[in-house]
């Protein structure tokens, strides 16, 4: 039984939409909030939401948010009781948790030893496999390159080589035959060291055309652990998720229950507390295998909130206070269908190159069952200092077809001028017949690359666009008044 802990003021050690999201739950719970910021985002509306704000500095904006010593000092100097890390940055850094522990500050997340175990892909795989949970056939690098390659040959091809300390798809390489295998292994070790400061790698059987399915779990210090059902995250580019949905269109109710039970079993085995996600590879034959555990709140957590009605951030805070979960397993019911689209400042038709510029106009979609998580604002300078995601569009409806339709309407209503985004590209995916039929896997974008190209612009249309640009203001306004919203908003922007 854990002791109750008093928390009055929480520091959000993050930025962007997740900072806004966490601040809302802190306010709803009647607690005080503090927020870190870097000068490149000194005009962000999120700063007005926090009771207190503290500037962080560093060699780069990202480095500023990774300065453990400075963040702990800010907490000590300003009577901050707890820190919520969001995702990214220090959210899965055990040394950060230990530094907060030493300063008597509560970390809103799991214990550092759990974070260390489950954050190590080799260690977590061994742990999970030893307890009888499904893991894909794999080979661990023991430092002997020749022996490692010989053992790889035994499990066969195709396979994927990963960094033990990796994440986000960085350093991953798919290998389909033995040609150049030694070079691939050597490169993987170098990349693992460069990205994560840890050269250890492993190889596992690559499941062709797999789905990526994850299960949201919550645990408290009283030993309670529940799942909040699954999310399908198969629409990815370069191993980065683009669209997530729940429930998964691939699973029967029996399969859904099975994968969720396994996720809870893994979480219980490690005595997990707070919110976490167990990720699985789901094969076309219906078998599924443990992939990794993310010991933090996920980017895609809103779709789980939409279908279950559970505030995951509030649950994290309650657990950090030593309280038990507010929900039992029987209380967690999936209602309807939810989809999340990650809107990023990028150019999909130019190999997803990053996009930068100034936000000249922003018109977020609104409506019943529509949620727009963002910290973007008109006048914002979007650069490449941080991750390219600038918003999350989340919709909820009675079933999958209705959710897709609502999402397309919301994307049509969304207007952001000045910075190119992937919003139109996402709409092309949602309109694709294979997506509508639920025929998705992690190679969807690669397999349907040609189908997802933009429609060619005819010479007649190009001429019309040039002519429109040449209109007088009076002519332009008259024309725009005849066009339905949201395109009339272009008039305001031009004015």
As a whole number of angstroms, the distance between CA 301 and CA 311 comes to 9
- Per DSSP, the residues of 261-281 read HHHHHHHHHTT--EEEEEEEE
By C-alpha distance, which of 21, 16, 12 is closest to 371? 21
Q: Which residue has the tokens 């035959």?
A: 177
Residue 309 in tokens: 């009605």
Residue 154 in tokens: 């035994």
By C-alpha distance, which of 290, 331, 326 is closest to 311? 326
Helix (H) or strand (E) holding 285: none
Q: Annotated catalytic sites, by residue?
A: 296
What does each C-alpha distance from 413 to 301, 359, 435 come to in angstroms? Answer: 23, 16, 21
Residue 346 in tokens: 């990028």
Q: Which residue has the tokens 């569009």?
A: 393
Q: How far is CA 199 from the centre of its chain?
A: 25
The 10 Å Cβ neighbour count of residue 339 is: 24
As a whole number of angstroms, the distance between CA 308 and CA 333 comes to 6
């Amino acid at each position: 039984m854990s002791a109750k802990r008093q928390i009055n003021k929480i520091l959000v050690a993050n930025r962007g939409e997740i900072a806004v999201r966490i601040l809302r739950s802190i306010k709803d719970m009647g607690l005080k909030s503090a927020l870190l910021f870097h000068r490149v985002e000194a005009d962000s509306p999120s700063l007005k939401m926090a009771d207190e704000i503290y500037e962080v500095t560093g060699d780069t904006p990202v480095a500023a948010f990774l300065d453990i010593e400075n963040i702990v000092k800010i907490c000590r100097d300003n009577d901050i009781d707890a820190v919520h890390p969001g995702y990214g940055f220090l959210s899965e850094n055990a040394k950060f948790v230990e530094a907060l522990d030493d300063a008597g500050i509560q970390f809103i997340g799991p214990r550092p030893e759990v974070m260390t175990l489950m954050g190590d892909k080799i260690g977590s795989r061994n742990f999970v496999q030893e307890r009888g949970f499904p893991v894909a056939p794999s080979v661990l690098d023991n430092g002997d390159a020749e022996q490692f390659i010989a053992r790889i040959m035994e499990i066969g091809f195709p396979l994927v080589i990963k960094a033990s300390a990796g994440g986000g798809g960085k350093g991953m390489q798919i290998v389909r035959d033995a040609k150049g295998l030694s070079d691939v292994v050597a490169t993987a070790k170098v990349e693992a060291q460069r990205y994560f400061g840890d050269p250890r790698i492993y190889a596992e059987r690559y499941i062709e055309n797999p789905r990526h399915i994850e299960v949201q779990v919550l645990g408290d210090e009283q030993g309670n652990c529940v799942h909040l059902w699954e999310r399908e995250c198969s629409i990815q580019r370069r191993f980065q998720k683009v669209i997530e949905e729940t429930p998964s269109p691939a699973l029967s109710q029996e399969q859904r229950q099975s994968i969720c039970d396994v996720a809870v079993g893994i979480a219980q085995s490690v005595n997990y507390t707070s919110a976490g996600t167990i990720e699985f590879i789901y094969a076309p034959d219906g078998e599924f295998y443990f992939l990794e555990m993310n010991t933090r709140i996920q980017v895609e957590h809103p779709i789980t909130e939409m279908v279950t009605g559970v505030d995951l951030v509030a649950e994290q805070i309650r657990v950090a206070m030593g309280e038990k979960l507010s929900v039992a397993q029987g209380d967690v019911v999936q209602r309807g269908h939810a989809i999340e689209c990650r809107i990023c400042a990028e150019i999909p038709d130019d190999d997803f190159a990053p996009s930068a510029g100034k936000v000249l106009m922003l018109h977020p979609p609104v409506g019943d069952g529509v949620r727009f998580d963002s910290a973007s604002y008109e006048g914002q300078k979007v650069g490449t200092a941080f991750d390219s995601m600038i918003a999350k569009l989340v919709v909820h409806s009675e079933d999958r077809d209705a959710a897709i339709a609502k999402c397309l309407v919301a994307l049509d209503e969304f207007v952001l001028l000045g910075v190119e985004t992937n919003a139109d590209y996402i709409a092309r995916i949602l309109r694709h017949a294979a997506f509508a039929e639920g025929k998705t896997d992690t190679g969807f974008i690669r397999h349907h690359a040609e189908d997802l190209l933009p429609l060619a612009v005819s010479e007649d249309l190009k001429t019309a666009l040039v002519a429109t640009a040449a209109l007088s203001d009076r002519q332009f306004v008259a024309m725009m008044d005849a066009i339905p919203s949201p395109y009339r908003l272009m008039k305001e922007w031009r004015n």
